[in-house]
Chains A and B, each alone.
Chain A
């Protein structure tokens, strides 16, 4: 144990505020997946929100306040070498840290700009980290039924992560992955867009729900709790039985006989 502990990757879980408060089980699943594949997971308890809601709504000063807090929580861990990576069960929040933090601090704060770039380089989305860094091809998960995969926009078009989650899903036992028409179209969440343009947002969501029903999927899997919450709200409101689940939950699902 002590012997290989020095070679085990050490990861700080960036759980995201939405997982923390709405879907804590997704955080637990992410931690268990990482641990099961040989990672030492720590959870920096002072983390809050990355600031994306404010940033995307145009409130850069407010976003900076939150982004500074994020950097203050995670940067010392990277700087003192106590972690190798920051991993989040979200494409959107990772895109915020990796791609938007440098823009946010570019002209205003040299120190934070530099630290944000360093942090961005070691921040990964969960399935990306599992596949690209841990070489996981199969999480041993199983689910008997039809599932559809919805690539979340920021995961797909900001981070360009697509093959990793699909590969892990394809390895699942008993699961039938069905085609979803318009799979790569936005579900309509879009952060504050879901509130500021609620009617457009729900119209987009209903279109996605319609396609999901047509696909015959019982579950639609995705990598962001935000889109998942929006879609479940729509599916529930429209009276459909299909439900959105987070990929960490599904990949961590094991049969009883495995003994967990």
Chain B
């Protein structure tokens, strides 16, 4: 049973935990990715890469307004059209307007989480435009009528057996679980789409301010086709994607791919600096860049600048023991899952209530902080967001009352001792009361000691004094 991303959090989690096929797929894939990452990191000075990548990102975020202006000027000088979009609706509106102007009927896309964030595919389809995802994983997700469950590996939640079944139903592919045969089937399907498409749409990994260049990381080469084959190319970049120089972009490219897949660098790194110039043999006739805010300025204003450092490598997701159990769809209608998703989703959303459960979907084990290539202190951000949820009154009423009662008892020794005595006296009966009733559903019940340590200690001191006297 698949996870319904529109269902409430508790339902999504229950559905995810009940999906054994998905959990097998997640186990295999996250384990594999972690191994590859470990191997790639052992080859280099990881600390140095993290220091440098972190510094490069911090520099960019600290000088964001200046770098964005420089980026805009250089993009325009390169012959690009630059559009600023405050929110999802504005960004979608710009794309639709460009499509209308150029009478676009077919769009090919390179995998882009920012377009998922703004719901671009649905909007284009509503306007009668055919949209085809060209990243293999994203293509499969589209065939299945689902959404990506991982920023890098959109179909990580499916086993190869499941994918074969989708191909059989949707593409009439003969039954096979050979990845090579499935890839070949997808390639045949996609090749034609590239040739007929009027417009290519990509996201953006890095936007280089000094040169006015949009960089897209891919392993399949589909990014290059999307950015160069169709007449019109539209890149959508969150404003935090800007970096100072080509050198910085290349450093981050290495940091991203080593952490994402364990490769030294990805197979392709497509850099687009404007439309086709006279004498060029290929390239789009027009290139548009949409610089999207959609809550990003607010992230900075609210003191969560660290969250804007993210280079979307997915290392925190692959190592997260919570993500491994529930997968990306349990995080809801958001392309961002895992620890970084639990931070970004509530921050990008205006309404804290909508994503109030996500900051709590972590055991705060800290594994994510240790792998982050730009050293984002994810547990700290999750803790900060939890306190925001509580301050805004969005935490459950019963929980508030219980915590208040707990802190009232714990602020003085006498009530604390009385409660401890009561728990010891109740023994296993304490398990009938919340919160232990929740605890014991799948766990043996802890037993409160008949006599607490404090009482034992007092007795010991008395005995010693007795012996001494």
Binding site for B on A (CB under 8 A): 15, 17, 19-24, 27-28, 31, 43, 45-49, 51, 53-60, 62-63, 65-66, 68-69, 103, 153-154, 156-158, 184-186, 188-191, 193-205, 207, 229-230, 232-237
Give which listed residue, B17, B399, B444, B454, contacts A199 with CB less than 8 A: B17
B180 interface residue (CB < 8 Å to A): no
The distance in angstroms between the C-alpha atoms of A14 and B364, with both chains bound, is 23
| Residues on the B chain within 8 Å of A21, using CB | 420, 423-424, 448-449, 452-453
Give which listed residue, B403, B423, B439, B453, contacts A54 with CB less than 8 A: B403
Cβ–Cβ contact A198 & B369, under 8 A:
no
Cβ–Cβ contact A51 & B439, under 8 A:
no
**CB-based closest 7 A-B pairs:** A190-B363, A58-B386, A233-B443, A236-B444, A157-B366, A186-B365, A62-B407
Across the interface, name the chain A residue whose C-beta is closest to B319. A185
| Residues on the A chain within 8 Å of B360, using CB | 57-58, 193, 196-197
The distance in angstroms between the C-alpha atoms of A251 and B306, with both chains bound, is 42
Cβ–Cβ contact A20 & B454, under 8 A:
yes
Cβ–Cβ contact B416 & A153, under 8 A:
no
State the Cβ distance, A28 to closest chain B Cβ, in Å.
6
State the Cβ distance, B35 to closest chain A Cβ, in Å.
12
Q: Which one of B195-203, B204-212, B219-227, B387-395 is at the interface?
A: B387-395
Cβ–Cβ contact B443 & A202, under 8 A:
yes
Cβ–Cβ contact A193 & B13, under 8 A:
no
Across the interface, name the chain B residue whose C-beta is closest to A56. B364
| Residues on the A chain within 8 Å of B411, using CB | 48, 65-66, 68-69
The distance in angstroms between the C-alpha atoms of A115 and B325, with both chains bound, is 41
Cβ–Cβ contact A193 & B442, under 8 A:
no
Across the interface, name the chain A residue whose C-beta is closest to B408. A65
Cβ–Cβ contact B363 & A58, under 8 A:
no
Secondary structure of the A contact surface, majority rule:
helix
For this complex, 26 residue pairs linking A to B, each with C-beta atoms less than 8 Å apart, are: A17-B416, A20-B420, A21-B424, A23-B449, A24-B449, A27-B457, A43-B454, A43-B457, A45-B454, A46-B413, A48-B413, A49-B410, A56-B383, A58-B387, A58-B389, A62-B403, A153-B363, A186-B321, A186-B367, A190-B365, A199-B13, A200-B322, A200-B325, A203-B325, A204-B325, A237-B442
Number of A-B contacts (CB under 8 A): 193
Question: Of B407, B416, B452, B457, which is in contact with the most chain A CB atoms at under 10 Å from its CB?
Answer: B407
| Residues on the B chain within 8 Å of A46, using CB | 413
Known: A58-B390, A60-B390, A205-B443. 6 other contacts (CB 8 A): A15-B454, A20-B452, A63-B407, A199-B17, A202-B442, A237-B444
Cβ–Cβ contact A57 & B390, under 8 A:
yes
The distance in angstroms between the C-alpha atoms of A43 and B424, with both chains bound, is 21
Cβ–Cβ contact B443 & A234, under 8 A:
yes
The distance in angstroms between the C-alpha atoms of A110 and B380, with both chains bound, is 21
B451 interface residue (CB < 8 Å to A): yes
Contact with A along B436-450 (1 / 0, CB 8 A): 001111111111110
B353 interface residue (CB < 8 Å to A): no
| Residues on the A chain within 8 Å of B435, using CB | 195
| Residues on the B chain within 8 Å of A31, using CB | 457
Given the known inter-chain contacts A45-B454, A186-B365, please indicate yes or no for A198 contacting B441, CB distance below 8 A.
yes
| Residues on the B chain within 8 Å of A197, using CB | 13, 322, 360-361
Cβ–Cβ contact B423 & A186, under 8 A:
no
| Residues on the B chain within 8 Å of A103, using CB | 380
Across the interface, name the chain B residue whose C-beta is closest to A99. B380
Across the interface, name the chain B residue whose C-beta is closest to A68. B411
Interface residues of B in 381-419 (CB under 8 A from A): 383, 385-391, 395, 399-400, 403-404, 406-413, 416
Across the interface, name the chain A residue whose C-beta is closest to B10. A199
Cβ–Cβ contact A186 & B363, under 8 A:
yes
| Residues on the B chain within 8 Å of A54, using CB | 403, 406-407
Across the interface, name the chain B residue whose C-beta is closest to A189. B363
Given the known inter-chain contacts A188-B321, A200-B361, please indicate yes or no for A24 contacting B441, CB distance below 8 A.
no
| Residues on the A chain within 8 Å of B383, using CB | 55-56, 58
The distance in angstroms between the C-alpha atoms of A154 and B383, with both chains bound, is 14
Given the known inter-chain contacts A153-B364, A196-B360, please indicate yes or no for A24 contacting B451, CB distance below 8 A.
yes
Cβ–Cβ contact A204 & B14, under 8 A:
no
Cβ–Cβ contact A185 & B423, under 8 A:
no
| Residues on the B chain within 8 Å of A236, using CB | 443-444
| Residues on the A chain within 8 Å of B408, using CB | 65
The distance in angstroms between the C-alpha atoms of A193 and B366, with both chains bound, is 14
Question: Of A103, A200, A202, A233, which is in contact with the most chain B CB atoms at under 10 Å from its CB?
Answer: A200
B467 interface residue (CB < 8 Å to A): no
Contact with A along B354-368 (1 / 0, CB 8 A): 000001111111110
| Residues on the A chain within 8 Å of B387, using CB | 58-60
Interface residues of B in 323-343 (CB under 8 A from A): 325-326
State the Cβ distance, B156 to closest chain A Cβ, in Å.
18
B370 interface residue (CB < 8 Å to A): yes
State the Cβ distance, B11 to closest chain A Cβ, in Å.
12
Interface residues of B in 291-309 (CB under 8 A from A): none
Question: Of B362, B435, B454, which is in contact with the most chain A CB atoms at under 10 Å from its CB?
Answer: B454
The distance in angstroms between the C-alpha atoms of A63 and B406, with both chains bound, is 10
The distance in angstroms between the C-alpha atoms of A82 and B63, with both chains bound, is 51
| Residues on the A chain within 8 Å of B363, using CB | 153, 186, 188-191, 193, 201, 204
Cβ–Cβ contact A58 & B420, under 8 A:
no
Cβ–Cβ contact B407 & A198, under 8 A:
no
The distance in angstroms between the C-alpha atoms of A73 and B387, with both chains bound, is 26
B184 interface residue (CB < 8 Å to A): no
| Residues on the B chain within 8 Å of A68, using CB | 411
Given the known inter-chain contacts A19-B453, A232-B444, A237-B442, please indicate yes or no for A59 contacting B390, CB distance below 8 A.
yes
The distance in angstroms between the C-alpha atoms of A28 and B410, with both chains bound, is 22
B432 interface residue (CB < 8 Å to A): no
Cβ–Cβ contact A153 & B390, under 8 A:
no
| Residues on the B chain within 8 Å of A57, using CB | 360, 386, 390, 395, 399, 403
State the Cβ distance, B453 to closest chain A Cβ, in Å.
4
| Residues on the B chain within 8 Å of A200, using CB | 13, 17, 322, 325-326, 361
